[in-house]
Amino acid sequence: MVATGVDFIVMILAVELLHFSPVVGTVAGALCGAVTNFSLGRHWVFRSSEFEAAGQLFRYALVAGASLGLSAAGEYLLVNRAGLGYVFARLLVAVTVSNLWNFPLRKFFVFKK
């Protein structure tokens, strides 16, 4: 929830204050959320800080890169093609990508024990 909060706050600030497109705002938010998520996941959620960080970071970057692509594509489709508001579209995309991609891969691939 913390990483998602960071993600959404950065996205909204990027769109509303910096006048980025919703897709670019999504990318900026997702990158900031990913940094937060890695730190919290490693130390708190999956309690795997006893393992080498470099390997986890590499695996995390692979998963996060794909997640970023899925999120940007979803945002583009829902905002530019389906006409949804960017925050609502991001919410739908975030829930979907998080539950079907991020969490399973982080649990069984990135922070596996």
Give tens-digit pLDDT for 30-43.
999 999 999 998 88
Q: Give yes or no for residue 65 having a pLDDT over 90.
A: yes
Give tens-digit pLDDT for 73-90.
999 999 999 999 999 999
Q: Which of 60-64, 75-79, 99-103, 109-113 has the lowest mean pLDDT?
A: 109-113
Q: Is residue 71 within 8 Å of residue 91, measured between CB atoms?
A: no
Where residue 83 falls (left for φ over 0; alpha for ψ -120 to 50; beta otherwise) is left
Residues in Cβ contact with 99 at an 8 Å cutoff, skipping those fewer than 6 apart: none
Q: CA 40 to CA 44: how far, in whole Å? A: 5
User: To 5 degrees, how large is the angle CA 4–CA 8–CA 14?
Assistant: 145
pLDDT for res 48: 84
pTM of the model: 0.82
To the nearest 10 degrees (0 to 180), the angle between helices 2-16 and 22-40 is 160
Mean pLDDT across the stretch 86-96? 95
Q: Is residue 93 within 8 Å of residue 30, measured between CB atoms?
A: no
- Say which residue, 1 or 15, is predicted with more confidence: 15
Output DSSP code: residue 17. Answer: T
Q: Give yes or no for residue 2 having a pLDDT over 90.
A: yes
